[in-house]
Amino acid sequence: MTAFLSASELAAKIKPGTKLAMPPDGSGASVGLTKFIIENGARGLHLICAPVGGLQVDMLVGAGLVATIETSAVSLGEAGAAPSFTRAIKSRAIKIMDATCPAMLTGLVAAQKGVPFIPMRGLIGSDILRTRPDWTVIENPYQKDDPIVAIPAIRPDVCLFHAPEADRSGNVRVGRRGELQLLAYASATTLVTVERIVEKSLLGDEATAAGVLPSLYVSAIAELKNGAWPNALWGEYAQDTGEISRYAAAARTREGFDGYMASFKQSMAP
């Protein structure tokens, strides 16, 4: 049964050393829960991006909570490079498991399907294989002289995302964001923050039920208004480009990052 918790209680579910998966900016990253995760002090996190990271990833790295990050990119989009991530990579403060977008999604699909790996083309001949000894080149068992890369399953301990709404049964509306459903299917535990909890059953409407993640795959939910801000949340609010740019400028230095996060903790929403 899905648990309904406060934001701080939900964040406390993320323990030190957790393999934590999250979606990219604009696809339901739960930026609002970041301050609670930082306050909880869960260090040594292994972040898994589906397939890229953004503002929330950069904040967790800047707070010193991340040991490893598995991703195809970390960026603030039009606001430029992710400053805390860039600083951590240059100083070798975190381990990077470099990937491609298709490879990240392939690994998560393997976990969803309960198989140890899925073969994938397009990687042989690239430099990325030099940095990923866990990606194995195998022979196609059905055709000679046809090598292919086996991408191992990526199995997060916890996935975390933000959605517009959930109902009292624990069903969550994710709309067309298939990456959110994929994260829930691939992960041992699914934590969700939502704008609101509604009384009607989200599975009751045949026209929209396909865009609802059933409660069977949802471990716990917390109501957190404006929980994706300053990112956009589909059907709810637009991206606050100015605020993301303000973060990007402030976080260029460690002191600037600390100052921004202090104010971010005080006031989450515009």
Please state the rounded mean pLDDT for residues 228-236.
97
Exposed e or buried b per residue across 145-170, where buried means at least 16 C-beta atoms within 10 angstroms of its C-beta: eeebbbbbbbbbbbbbbbbbbbbeeb
Alpha carbons 257 and 262: distance in angstroms, whole number: 9
By DSSP bridging, strand 220-223 and strand 189-198 are parallel
Please state the rounded mean pLDDT for residues 3-19.
98
Alpha carbons 231 and 24: distance in angstroms, whole number: 10
Q: How many residues make up the chain in this entry?
A: 270
Alpha carbons 127 and 1: distance in angstroms, whole number: 45
The DSSP bridge partners found for residue 262 are none
Q: Which domains does the chain have, with CATH numbers?
A: 3-102+154-268 (3.40.1080.10), 120-152 (no CATH)
Give the count of beta carbons closer than 10 Å to the beta carbon of residue 139: 11
Please state the rounded mean pLDDT for residues 241-246.
97
Alpha carbons 42 and 121: distance in angstroms, whole number: 37
Question: What angle, 0 to 180 degrees and rounded to 10, lies between the N-to-C axes of helices 83-90 and 254-266?
Answer: 140
70-123 pLDDT tens trace? 999 999 999 999 999 999 999 999 999 999 999 999 999 999 999 999 999 999
Please state the rounded mean pLDDT for residues 141-155.
97
Q: What is the per-residue pLDDT for 269?
A: 47
Q: DSSP assignment, residue 216? A: G
Q: What is the per-residue pLDDT for 268?
A: 55
In whole angstroms, how far apart are CA 213 and each of 59, 162, 190? Answer: 27, 12, 11
Averaged pLDDT of the chain: 96
Q: Is the pTM of this model over 0.85?
A: yes
